[in-house]
Structure formats: structure tokens, C-alpha cells
Amino acid sequence: MSTKIHSLVEGHGLPMVVLLSPGQAGDSPMFGPLMAHLRVAQPVGRARTRPDLVRADKAYSSRAIRTHLRQRGIRAAIPEPSDQQGHRRRRGSRGGRPPAFDAEIYKGRNVVERRFCHLKQWRGLATRYDKLAITYRAAAVLNAVIAWTRHLSDMP
């Protein structure tokens, strides 16, 4: 059975949460578990669990995800797929307003794509010698640790 890696990435392309799902599973059902695992330690006080902004592709443009983000006060830069636009227009005034979308903010999403490309091309994961999902996830977490270590060693 194949396995798919899902990850939350911060603004510099460093992974913050790494989860696995079955290979045939879609991306958007994993959004809730990814957000539930998000914890950012603060120097003082509780860990942050709410990012300021979420950049995601059209696969994450669902009413449930947008409602979740809105209820938690998180801004979203998620484009609306053309089929959802058509459904909304067809419903007329009952279709509601189009979701807000800032194209300038969305341009920063390439950082996420570059991280996934780097992760998928990493030899430890690309060859997929690991048969167990837990070992495969451990390799993805190891890749995240290496990325954070390199980032911290490059800082002045």
C-alpha cells in the first residue's frame, strides 16, 4: 500500500508538522489533523496553535476548511476553483459572496511547493526502501530536522 506525506510549512519553507495518509487519500481531509498538530513554542506563555495566514492550493478550497479558518480568525490565501465559482454563480444571491483572495500573498506559496519537491527528491524518501509507514514518517521527520538544522546554522 502506498503512503502520502502531508506537511505544514512555515514562511521560510521549513516543515512544522509531518503526517502520513494512505496514498489514494485526498489532500483536503488532512487539513484538520495537520492544524490540530500545529504547536509553536513561545518564549513565554502557551504554545501558539493559530497561524496568522494559511496559503494553500485549490485542493483546500472547501466550505468546511474556509469556515474553520474564519472561526479561528485565520486569513486564507486559497484560490477558488472554477467549478465552485460556477456553482456559486448559478445559485445567485443564495450562493453568497466570493471568498476573499489576495494574489500577492498567494505568490509566496511557491515556498511550500519547493519544500515538497525537496522532500520528494530526498534520496531517503524517493527510493522508498522503507516498508513500514512509521519508518517512512521517521525519514520525513529526519528530513525536517536536517532542514531546520541547516536553517539555524545559516543564521547570523
Task: Please report the pLDDT score of residue 140 as a whole number.
Answer: 87
Comparison of pLDDT for 83 and 21, the residue scoring more: 21
Average pLDDT value for residue range 109-135: 80
- Is the pLDDT reported for residue 128 higher than 80? no
This prediction has a pTM of: 0.80
Tell me which of 24-28, 46-50, 52-56 is least confident: 24-28
87 Cβ contact list (under 8 Å, min separation 6)? 95
> What confidence score (pLDDT) does residue 84 get?
78
| pLDDT for 17 | 92
Query: Any idea where the domains of the chain sit in the sequence?
Result: 3-130
DSSP annotation of 43: S
Span 6-23, average pLDDT: 88
pLDDT of res. 1 = 58
Q: What is the pLDDT of residues 58-117, one digit of tens each?
A: 888 888 998 999 999 999 988 888 877 777 777 777 776 667 788 888 888 888 888 888
Determine contact, residues 19/30, Cβ cutoff 8 Å. yes
Q: For residue 126, what are the CA distances in angstroms to 29, 120, 143?
A: 24, 6, 12
